[in-house]
A = this chain, B = another copy of it.
Amino acid sequence: MKKLINSPENVVLESISGLGAAFPDLVKVHFNPNYIVRADAPVQGKVGIVSGGGSGHEPMHGGFVGKGMLDAACPGAVFTSPTPDQMHEATKAVNGGKGVLHIVKNYTGDVMNFEMAADLARAEGAEVEAVVIDDDVAVKDSLYTAGRRGVGTTVLAEKIVGAAAEQGCTLKEAAALCHKVNAQGRSMGMALTSCVVPHVGKPTFDLPEDEMEIGIGIHGEPGRQRMKLKSADEITEMLLTPILEDLPFQNGDNVLLFVNSMGGTPGVELFIVYRKAHEILTNRGIKVSRSFVGPYITSLEMAGASITLLKLDDQLTKLWDEPVHTPALRWGV
């Protein structure tokens, strides 16, 4: 295992320490239980937005804590759900009196633990809502999931709902908006290689030198199909077609096209995928009005890419464009 780490046990602790040291004006890192919180939390009179999940998907979620996005993120061990006490403490830390929304990726452990945390917080009088993101069209039910897995749309939901919270929406409005983003977003990913979880020390799965896996999950969960490696254009078509079939995007629709690196895929390749995806959409009369390209929801160093398509309307477009100031995403400030 070749990694820039000191020991597998300390990966998350040291990494979030580094994040806190790098951006002290944006985030504070709390240890035992571990969570990353906006430096100015709790923001009075604002709905708090909390997410979290296993580590190894950076910059999601800790890199998205800050003005206009998340109020707190709860990092679990690598590819392992955070615990209810992390979520409970984070929820308390960001409650500015207007309630807290949990944005939860659909993995059984995450969903269960966020539910327990919400119950604990409600028992203390806090208003808490939760929205589960389940946008991955690859498979129904998976290794850690009943129903569809939550993937790339999570990043877009955190940005868009975070902007609405910053503008002063209510908890009910934030939850409704998050449901809307989830309903209008679809994703699918693929892998060329596995990654190595530090405390495991060997690849999560073996993939022969001439094969790829289509529909892979962000923890290396099995996808739809293993097959011989194909060209970038063919792969792009294999990812985008099920997305387009699942949500009937129509001629004239505006979309946000998000091409994501699984971690180990360089920028030069991502834009080759982007190019073909843009061409397919344009040929169908779908207008790409916003683009987002880079490593935003990763699986450590896995080589591969995912595509997320979000159907936009004026509300979502305006909220996407609103200022954001986090370690990983910053514009308008």
Of the stretches A56-64, A80-88, A116-124, A144-152, the one at the interface is A56-64
Residues of B within 8 A of A231 (CB): 5-7
Docked-complex contact A192 and B272, CB < 8 angstroms? no
Which residue of the partner chain, among B14, B263, B331, contacts A331 with CB atoms under 8 Å? B331
Of the stretches A19-27, A130-138, A154-162, A246-254, the one at the interface is A19-27
Residues of B within 8 A of A331 (CB): 330-331, 333
Determine how close the nearest CB of chain B comes to the CB of A279; give it in whole angstroms: 8
Docked-complex contact A271 and B22, CB < 8 angstroms? yes
Docked-complex contact A272 and B22, CB < 8 angstroms? no
Closest to A269 in B: B4
Closest to A212 in B: B2
A271 and B192 contact, Cβ closer than 8 Å, known pairs A5-B231, A231-B5, A330-B330 = no
Docked-complex contact A4 and B305, CB < 8 angstroms? yes
Given contacts A15-B268, A58-B268, A58-B271, 6 further A-B contacts (CB under 8 A): A2-B209, A5-B231, A11-B268, A58-B267, A263-B266, A331-B331
Q: Which A residues have a C-beta under 8 Å from some C-beta of B?
A: 2-7, 11-12, 14-19, 21-23, 55-56, 58-59, 63, 78, 192-193, 209, 212, 229, 231-233, 235, 257, 263-275, 278-279, 288, 291, 293-295, 298, 300-301, 303-305, 327-328, 330-333
The 6 closest A-B pairs by CB, nearest first: A18-B271, A58-B267, A18-B275, A4-B269, A22-B291, A18-B274
